[in-house]
Amino acid sequence: MKSLVVIGIILFGLGALLFYLNNMAIDLRVIYGALSGIGIGLIIGGLVGYVSKGNAVKEAKIRQEFKQLQKEKAELEKQRLENINNGSL
């Protein structure tokens, strides 16, 4: 995701640089617009992807911790029942 942002910044900068180096020539405005538009799209897409991936990773970590706690609870219940059964015999 970070590479998308870097590529977007490069394309946006390239479009702006060409625009100002050619004395803001109107005949190439389609190329300038395309480079800048693609650059902005990649920047926004990279940031959105990075944020959504971070949220997904956090959710997966929380689910994994919850499953681990459930396993530990089941083991403790099993040990408690074994201790009760051994003590009453």
Q: pLDDT for 41-84, tens place per residue?
A: 778 887 888 888 888 889 999 999 999 999 999 999 999 888 88
Tell me which of 54 and 28 has the higher pLDDT: 54
Q: For residues 23 and 18, what is the distance between their CA atoms, to the nearest angstrom? A: 9
Cβ atoms 45, 28 nearer than 8 A: no
Checking if the pLDDT of 34 tops 80, the result is: no
| pTM for the structure as a whole | 0.49
Q: Could you tell me the residue ranges of all domains in the chain?
A: 2-88
Give me the pLDDT at residue 44, please: 81
Q: What angle do CA 6, 41, 19 make, to 5 degrees?
A: 80
Are 11 and 32 in contact by the 8 Å Cβ rule? The answer is no
pLDDT of residue 2: 65
